[in-house]
């Protein structure tokens, strides 16, 4: 993430910068509110501002608001700055961080302010096929529309496309159309000239110009007001934009990736989305399946999140128990990857002992657990994947034979080599496979 630190932070600026960098941040420094505003007006991507509480926090935040610059601000100060802390929060600061800086607290603030981890982790064939297609189309300059439910990872896929494009060395700029108020989105995208409106005290570069030569992600584009869609269409077609209050158009070379969790064809039919813009964006459409439809991603992602949050919270790395893994595999994940990440973060904090067991898995919507029904042999399990049923059958058979591989393979009707390969895979997936003394 891009972080702007304003002021000396009571002499702690070096420590705060090092912590932010260690947590994955890119740090820009400004020694005054005026210099901070100059940086923000330049169009530089800043996702979070940390300001010394002894500076004029109110002036910074009110200036950002008046100039339609959308960015989160947190204040920092020594423990005895209680009155200034209260004043900063009243001025609109999202958080107050006491100094000297605490690594865990700063890490938590950075994580909350932005999606700081853009790793694309997968194990399912559907995801692999989608990535192959994304990599194939990435070098083109064609607009791309990513569709899928909330939480499926559309922004991470968009970054993957940018990173594999001819524009990878240039800016990737993301704008969340749903998070920015309608009145501010136009100036956020196209920028403005000094005097364009009350509060426009200086020229500001918009996201289209900032991303010129690179990629602009328009996240949840279906939430954009239809009147602004006309200006967006012109910018894409003509490769030029008009700043608010500007006298002449400005040429841009910006590749567009748009995402939507809505059915845009339905939005076109009900009049909330322009048909011509839909066709312009939908040159290539990648639909990202729900997590429940790519089950082989679940355990791979769960282990990734366990590692991530164990390190972030300085906790020991624990294995995922087979029972906990079964719970994850038998849940429908209505919140998709985002819900899985939250679940594993919570599990890391709740786990007791040497592994993350089923007691640490707290699901948001227990009603979304797959229904399991057994036949007379207690083998067929409706709602589970073939791989899950097969694993349970193999492990149950081994347990009944005191983990004798040869006997179990005979009962299962498979070769001992096949059985050993299966067990090796289960061990790699985190299952505890006892050794066998007999075979």
Worst-scoring range by mean pLDDT, 98-107, 175-184, 303-312, 394-403?
98-107
Tell me: pLDDT of 431 over 90: no
Of 40-49, 117-126, 289-298, 407-416, give the range with the top mean pLDDT: 289-298
Say how far apart CA 215 and CA 284 lie, in whole Å: 15
Q: Provide the 10 A C-beta neighbour count for residue 420.
A: 12
Tell me: pLDDT of 437 over 60: no
Contacts 24+ apart (CB under 8 A), 94-100: 96/53, 97/50, 99/9, 99/10, 99/12, 99/16, 100/12, 100/15
Say how far apart CA 134 and CA 154 lie, in whole Å: 12
> DSSP letters of 176-195?
ETTTS-HHHHHHHHH-B-TT
pLDDT at 393: 80
pLDDT band with cut points at 50, 70 and 90 for residue 99: confident
- Write out pLDDT tens, residues 325-351: 999 999 999 999 989 999 999 999 999
Choose the CATH number for 292-368 among 1.25.40.20, 1.10.565.10, 1.10.8.60, 1.10.1740.10. 1.10.8.60
Whether residue 245 contacts residue 196, with contact meaning beta carbons closer than 8 Å, is answered with yes
Q: Provide the 10 A C-beta neighbour count for residue 364.
A: 13
Structure tokens at 116: 């700081």
Worst-scoring range by mean pLDDT, 63-77, 107-121, 145-159, 379-393?
107-121
Worst-scoring range by mean pLDDT, 136-145, 151-160, 223-232, 307-316?
307-316
Percent of the chain past pLDDT 90, that is, above it, reads 45
- Write out pLDDT tens, residues 204-240: 889 999 999 999 999 999 999 999 999 999 999 999 9
* 269-295: average pLDDT: 94
Domain 125-289 fold is: Rossmann fold (3.40.50)
Partners of residue 258 on adjacent β-strands: 145, 218
Say how far apart CA 124 and CA 317 lie, in whole Å: 24
pLDDT at 375: 39
Specify the CATH class of 2-113 in words.
alpha beta
What is the domain partition of the chain in residue ranges?
A: 2-113, 125-289, 292-368
pLDDT at 402: 72
Tell me: pLDDT of 424 over 60: yes
- Write out pLDDT tens, residues 1-36: 678 889 876 677 667 777 777 666 678 889 899 999
Look at 14 and 129; give whichever has higher pLDDT.
129
Average pLDDT, the chain: 85
pLDDT at 104: 65
Tell me: pLDDT of 371 over 60: no
pLDDT band with cut points at 50, 70 and 90 for residue 88: confident
Is there a common fold for 125-289 and 292-368? no
pLDDT at 416: 80
Could you tell me if residue 19 is left (phi over 0), alpha (psi between -120 and 50 degrees) or otherwise beta?
alpha
- Write out pLDDT tens, residues 35-81: 999 998 887 778 789 898 889 999 999 998 888 787 889 888 876 66
């Amino acid at each position: 993430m891009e972080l702007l630190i304003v002021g000396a932070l009571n002499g702690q600026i070096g420590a705060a910068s090092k912590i932010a960098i260690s947590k994955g941040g890119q740090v820009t420094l400004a020694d005054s509110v005026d210099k901070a505003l100059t940086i923000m007006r330049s169009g530089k991507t800043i996702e979070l501002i940390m300001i010394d509480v002894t500076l004029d926090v109110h002036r910074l935040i009110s200036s950002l608001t008046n100039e339609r610059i959308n960015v989160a601000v947190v204040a920092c100060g020594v423990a005895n700055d209680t009155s200034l802390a209260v004043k900063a929060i009243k001025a609109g600061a999202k958080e107050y961080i006491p100094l000297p800086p605490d690594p865990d607290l700063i890490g938590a603030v950075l994580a909350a302010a932005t999606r700081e981890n853009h790793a694309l982790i997968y194990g399912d064939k559907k995801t692999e096929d989608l990535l192959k297609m994304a990599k194939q189309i990435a070098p083109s300059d064609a607009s791309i529309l990513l569709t899928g439910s909330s939480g499926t990872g559309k922004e991470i896929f968009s970054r993957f496309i940018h990173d594999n494009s001819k524009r990878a060395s240039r800016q990737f700029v993301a704008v969340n159309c749903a998070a920015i108020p309608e009145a501010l989105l136009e100036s956020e995208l196209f920028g403005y000239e000094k005097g364009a409106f009350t509060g426009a005290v200086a020229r500001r570069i918009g996201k289209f110009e900032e991303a010129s030569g690179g990629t602009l992600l328009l996240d949840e584009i279906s939430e954009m007001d239809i009147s602004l869609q006309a200006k967006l269409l012109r910018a894409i077609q003509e490769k030029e934009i008009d700043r608010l209050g500007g006298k002449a158009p400005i040429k841009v070379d910006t590749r567009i990736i748009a995402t939507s969790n809505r059915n845009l064809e339905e939005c076109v039919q009900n009049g909330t989305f322009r048909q011509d813009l839909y066709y312009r964006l939908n040159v290539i459409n990648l639909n990202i399946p729900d997590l429940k439809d790519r089950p082989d991603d679940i355990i791979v992602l769960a282990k990734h999140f366990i590692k991530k949050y164990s390190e972030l919270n300085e906790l020991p790395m624990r294995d995922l128990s087979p029972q906990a893994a079964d719970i994850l595999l038998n849940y429908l994940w209505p919140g998709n990857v985002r819900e899985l990440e939250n679940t594993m973060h919570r599990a890391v904090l709740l786990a007791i002992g040497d592994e993350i067991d089923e007691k640490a898995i707290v699901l948001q919507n227990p009603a979304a657990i797959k229904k399991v029904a057994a036949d007379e042999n207690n083998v067929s399990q409706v709602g589970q994947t073939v791989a899950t049923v097969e694993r349970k059958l193999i492990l149950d058979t081994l347990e009944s034979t005191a983990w004798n591989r040869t006997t179990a393979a005979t009962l299962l009707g498979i070769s001992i080599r096949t059985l050993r390969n299966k067990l090796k895979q289960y061990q790699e997936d985190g299952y505890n496979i006892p050794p066998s003394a007999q075979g």
